[in-house]
Structure 1
Amino acid sequence: MVAEDAAKDLEVARILSGIGEAAYRWTSADDRLLWSPGAGPLLGLDDESAITTGQAYDALVDPQHGPSRRDVILASGASDAGSGVPFQIEYAIRPAGPEGPLHWVEDTGRWYTDGGSRPVRAEGVVRIVDDRRAHAERLAFLSRHDVETGLFNRSYLLELLDEAVSQALKLRTHAAFLVVGIDNMKLIKEAYGLGAADRIAAAVAQRIAARLRDGDAIGRFTIYKLGILLNNCEEHEMAVAAERFIAAVGDEVIATEDGAMSVTISIGGVSIPRHARSRAEVTERAHETLELARDVGPGRFIPFKPSTMIAAERRANTELSRDLVGALAEGRLRIAYQPVIDAASRRTAYHEALLRLVQSDGTVALAAQVVPLIERLGLARLFDLAVLDQVLAALEANPGAVIAVNVSPETAAGPDWMARLAERLTATPGVGSRLIVEITEATAIRSLEEATRFITRLHELGVRLAIDDFGAGYTSFRSLRALAVDIVKIDGSFIENLAHSTEDQIFVRHLAALAHELGLATVAEWVRDETSAKLLASWGVRYLQGDVIGEATLTPDFGA
């Protein structure tokens, strides 16, 4: 019987060892600690006799990384109803001595009493959980830190900011928040690549972090911007700190594996709670002042100062944005159509669709009044989609109509507008050949690759493409050929004084000749007098547009 029990104990020990665990029994009366075979090697000990008592085992536990098993049991205060009191704890041991490596132990078991409240024995199993602990610590680190720089990440930085704002309001203390931007980051990315840009950002962060006080915090605010929280910082101290950070980065070149680079930073900052009393106000105003600092020049710091003018402008923008969105919802969007005539025959070749907005007071705003505001407020896509719907409806209702419609850069770069156009044209064959889409020269040169894809898709749908405001930017005729443009609209600034400007005449005449050689139709806009109209026709400009030709109207004659 004894032999059988011994065999079973060995089998249990073998199973435990196979899964990386060891069993133990501890008795409090004599402090004796019995282990299953293999416990020593599992715990990193050459001699298992070193852990034959509870006190000896406790001596291995690192006091900075969790209480010992015996401390937990004796301090429990729980009562044993007869089946024991369960426990599961984690602690770290140093089996090689105080300077040796840490090993994390998961200790699971039960302790028992003799009917009273004092523990008399404990039984359980232990296992080494170094990998799990390392993984958990890594996840904990990543929950608060940025991988590339090792700084706090945005989420945790904002948590600290929330706490700082709360403390400043509650205890009437002061703090400051700075947003740091690397001035020449665009050039670094273009010259060396994104990897180099990340390394430069990390190096800048390290230089600034080395000059922070205890209690301050630095983190990654956006991809290439840093956020710095200065606790217990008066407004005048914020400026001193910012100049210290600017000097730390700019006084010496930054050496990386990509080479030595000269880097400067600009900083915007706001005092808490004097000029900002919430997270939203802090981040918005610090970021706003960073942009102001960059406008002044590299290596500058600008603190936030209240401005009644800016506040009034923002309130006006809010009201305007609300009115613009309301105009869409209430159907107050109108389209006026201005004729574009054939320069030779003086007959209408097509119409350009121009936005009109009936305002809440009943007055009608022209495109020049509202389009810049629409684009500034980020509403261009919504309005472009609404205008497209009305233009396509007009083409469907008027088989003789040919209409040009403008598309903003943001809309052209996104998928929504093109998807809507393709869906409508697929459902109404023949309409695409009577539609002309206008994009500005600036839109075309922003990304020739994107512009090429956009124009190619238009041509697949049977739609023509016109480049608007040509001559105001830097597009070459070679680019126009590569983009397969159909129509070039000469910028109106070269046309409005054409009859009286020799320089404009020379420019337009040569431009028209080059366009003709390349097989591109040309349109002169802003034609204001008959003299200019005749000059343009004589130079081969194919189409004319302007108030002297025909004003925009809400009730156009599209013909049969």
Structure 2
Amino acid sequence: MPRGLSLRSKLVILSLIVEVVMLTLLVVNSVRLSQDSLLNQAQVRYTELNTLFNAALAAPLAQRDYATLHEILAESEHQDGIVYAVLVDNSGLIVASSGWEKGRALPTSMAATKFSHARTDQFDTSTQIMLAGQKYGTLYYGVSTRFLSEARSHLVQQSILIAGVEILLSTLLLAGLGYWLTRHLASLTRASDAFAQGQLEIRLPMRSNDEVGALTHAFNSMADAIAGQIGALTASTAQLHEEQARLIALLHAMKLGILFADTDNRIIYYNPAFQHIWRLPPDLSLHGKSPAEAIAQTGCMLADPNQLVSLMTASADSPEEHPATEIRLSDGRLLTRLSHPVYDATKKFIGHLWMFEDVTQEQQTAQQLVYLAERDSLTGLFNRHRLHEEMEKLLAEAERTGTQGALLFFDLDEFKYINDTFGHYAGDATLIRIATELSTLIRRNEVLARLGGDEFALLIPQISDLKQAEDLAERVVQAIARLPLIFEEQHLHVTISLGIALYPQHGTTIEGLIAHADTAMYQAKACGKNTWQVYRPELDMGKEMVARLTWNERLSHAFEKNLFRLHFQGVYHTADRTLSHLEALVRMIDEEKPGELVMPALFIPIAEKSGKILELDRWVINEAVTVLARHLKLRALAINLSGRSLADPSLPGYIQDTLVRHGVDPRRLLIEITETSAIGDLLDAGRFIEALHLTGCATCLDDFGTGFSSFAYLKYLKVDTLKIDGLFIRDLPNDPDNQLFVKSIADVARGMGKITVAEFVEDEATLELLNRFGVDLVQGYFLDRPIADHPALRGEAPMEKSA
């Protein structure tokens, strides 16, 4: 049956086919039954005719009354459908006939006795004429069977007519019934087509509770479910497209070169950064190519052309993660390459993700950081940290090979005079000249370092004997003594005192060698300066060494007796001169002179050399946090920590624990470190500042501007506040150079989002200039002096200087 027909048509056609078949069978059967009935009636008539013919003809034939026989046969013709009749006697002579031509031979087969045996339109038969049991002749006659055919045809015609009418009526009835049954199915079909075309809101009304009604309900439920799923799918698709667009935008914005290749090692995706890194034309398509083919089209030349191709070819065949690989380009750039296998949700390997990054700048920065971390910022010589590393190598190598080494310690004899007389610039210039001169005297394997201030050290890894170290010491002393210096048109000469400590004779540890070299240096000073001295433990201690030991004892005594005190000085807003916060300054009670205080300039250097400064820093921290916990109205308090504490990794944790223990907000504590100590060990300073920020404390770079390249270090030291060195503030109104420098510091700090503080403000004119330059905060004797019982601790506003 054709697929294009509707269900209604199929139902009608199938019903009609069934009905036609059944009617056909019915008509055929009816005709057969009617035919059988007619044949039975004809057979009965045939039997009656034989009896009638025998009764009518037997007597005249026995009497040979031929006229009567002719008359009887003539009367019987055309009656009861008789076509002809021929009477033959026993001798075979025709004695009478009717409807039969003379001379015509009789039918050859006259043996039929049943009408069903008739093969033409007439029935030919014969019957014996019997009388009293004796045969007198045979009657041959033919009966027309046309009535049977006519009856059959009439019956068939009537049956066909009735069947046709019935089929027509059935067709109309079935069409109506089919329409009535399938009219809702048509609505379902139209609704389904409309739904398929996107009319998701279409629904059908419920008109019945039968199967069609159930189907309508199922359609509406299905439509609701599909519409909901399509809505969710549409929202999900929109979200997916949005996320995909965001991902593509993110990948396009990345500076990291991204390339994805499938399992056939063919490129599926790459971002603009990949093209930029490899200098590929923007209009060049890489899709479908292998990574090696893509790189082959680059405008960059590899320092090792086979490196990348071999790496990428090896990685393409293996779903394994490969470590970072450095790729050096001929133009000097350095790239890093990472390869990660990518798996789908079923853990099936689907390709490799390549990531390329131009790390040239980062490498240069790292090299610069390494340089800054191990170099003195002023002279470019190695710093204390690098000296310690080299000494560790020296001691390990000397212990392994049994060789000797030497450590030379020296400082300038009258460096304080140059600083006080000609200023810090002159002092810095002197140190730079000395470093330059000494660099020409040492060999490649010898290490020259500046330890801080005017202290230097020279490490000699291998010496054959003591004389080698003494000869080098003599050359160093003489070279410095001959060095000409001119400041403010005055010719100066500086001298040094140098001490020598040998390994392993004078010490087998870093601390031991440094201590004995430092002692030897003071022994040289005791010998009149401008000389050198090998460490000699038997020599009497000079006054300076005795003084140092005395101060060590005094510091230990101060810790035992709790003789340290905090004094407080206000830090004010420059614009309106209102109090911003206090700075805590440590003092020591002088037991030898009751009522007097020892200033930090006297005991801090000794504490730093002896290592007691770490204990003092922790005392200051604990005392300051206690003050903050006691005086809740105090906005903030600043404290100073030494450079030695920067290398103490446990100190930030100690600060945090102290703040938590006293319940003090970390934002109320400001930690100040000096610029010289910070840049002396840049890595430790950077880690220390970052750790303080994680704790929540603010940080300040004190004495800013004293370094040779102060601005450069702001990139690496993420402090919140810059405190300008008082050297630039003291005579600010009368020094145009200092004015320019201070204004520059204020401008740079403001651009970097940092707060500026000026110390040593001692007059109105200086304060006005600082306000005009945009310096945020000020402190100094002009505003108030450090005292133990500051008004701000009592919640009182300090006396403000009027503008």
* TM-score, length of structure 2 as denominator length: 0.36
- Alignment match, 2:578: 347
Instruction: Kindly state the Cα deviation for residue 304 of structure 1 after the two structures are TM-superposed.
Output: 6.6
284 and 524 in structure 1: CA distance in 2 versus 1, 3 angstrom threshold: closer
Residues 499 and 523, structure 2, Cα contact 8 Å, conserved in 1: no
Are 1:379 and 2:612 counterparts?
Answer: yes
- Count of matched residue positions in the alignment of Structure 1 and Structure 2: 320
Paired with 1:398 and 1:244, the residues of 2 have a C-alpha distance of 59
Paired with 2:708 and 2:618, the residues of 1 have a C-alpha distance of 29
CA deviation map 1:55-97 (0-9, x unaligned): xxxxxxxxxxxxxxxxxxxxxxxxxxxxxxxxxxxxxxxxxxx
Map 1:41-440 to 2 at 5 A.
Answer: 146-151=398-403, 184=442, 204-205=462-463, 208=464, 243=471, 268=500, 288-289=519-520, 302=533, 311-361=542-592, 362=594, 363-401=596-634, 402-440=636-674
Residues 352 and 405, structure 1, Cα contact 8 Å, conserved in 2: yes
Paired with 2:604 and 2:658, the residues of 1 have a C-alpha distance of 25
Describe the SS at the equivalent of 2:700: strand
- Alignment match, 2:84: none
507 and 544 in structure 1: CA distance in 2 versus 1, 3 angstrom threshold: same
Paired with 1:153 and 1:301, the residues of 2 have a C-alpha distance of 17
Residues 499 and 535, structure 2, Cα contact 8 Å, conserved in 1: no
RMSD after superposition: 4.2
491 and 310 in structure 1: CA distance in 2 versus 1, 3 angstrom threshold: farther
Residues 571 and 582, structure 2, Cα contact 8 Å, conserved in 1: yes
Instruction: Kindly state the Cα deviation for residue 244 of structure 1 after the two structures are TM-superposed.
Output: 11
324 and 201 in structure 1: CA distance in 2 versus 1, 3 angstrom threshold: closer
Paired with 2:573 and 2:473, the residues of 1 have a C-alpha distance of 63
Are 1:474 and 2:704 counterparts?
Answer: no
CA deviation map 1:298-323 (0-9, x unaligned): xx964579999962222222222111
Letter in structure 1 aligned against 2:695 = L
Letter in structure 2 aligned against 1:320 = W
Residues 341 and 347, structure 1, Cα contact 8 Å, conserved in 2: yes
Describe the SS at the equivalent of 2:701: strand
Letter in structure 1 aligned against 2:787 = T
| Gap runs ≥5 in structure 2 | 1-395, 407-439, 450-458, 476-497, 503-511, 797-803
Describe the SS at the equivalent of 1:482: coil
Letter in structure 1 aligned against 2:622 = D
Paired with 1:244 and 1:513, the residues of 2 have a C-alpha distance of 48
Are 1:516 and 2:750 counterparts?
Answer: yes
267 and 315 in structure 1: CA distance in 2 versus 1, 3 angstrom threshold: closer
Paired with 1:364 and 1:416, the residues of 2 have a C-alpha distance of 31
Percent identity over paired residues:
27
* TM-score, length of structure 1 as denominator length: 0.50
Describe the SS at the equivalent of 2:401: coil
Residues 145 and 152, structure 1, Cα contact 8 Å, conserved in 2: no
Residues 243 and 301, structure 1, Cα contact 8 Å, conserved in 2: no
Larger relative contact order (CA 8 Å, sep ≥ 6): 1
Paired with 2:598 and 2:567, the residues of 1 have a C-alpha distance of 11
CA deviation map 1:133-178 (0-9, x unaligned): xxxxxxxxxxx99554234899xxxxxxxxxxxxxxxxxxxxxxxx
541 and 360 in structure 1: CA distance in 2 versus 1, 3 angstrom threshold: same
Instruction: Kindly state the Cα deviation for residue 439 of structure 1 after the two structures are TM-superposed.
Output: 0.4
269 and 465 in structure 1: CA distance in 2 versus 1, 3 angstrom threshold: closer
CA deviation map 1:263-310 (0-9, x unaligned): xxx98489xxxxxxxxxx99977774478889x9xxx96457999996
Paired with 1:282 and 1:508, the residues of 2 have a C-alpha distance of 42
Residues 645 and 651, structure 2, Cα contact 8 Å, conserved in 1: yes
Paired with 1:457 and 1:186, the residues of 2 have a C-alpha distance of 38
Structure richer in helix, relative to its length: 2
Higher alpha-carbon Rg: 2
CA deviation map 1:226-267 (0-9, x unaligned): xx6xxxxxxxxxx799559999xxxxxxxxxxxxxxxxxx98
Partner residue of 1:483 out of 717, 734, 749? 717
Letter in structure 1 aligned against 2:651 = W
Paired with 2:556 and 2:444, the residues of 1 have a C-alpha distance of 35
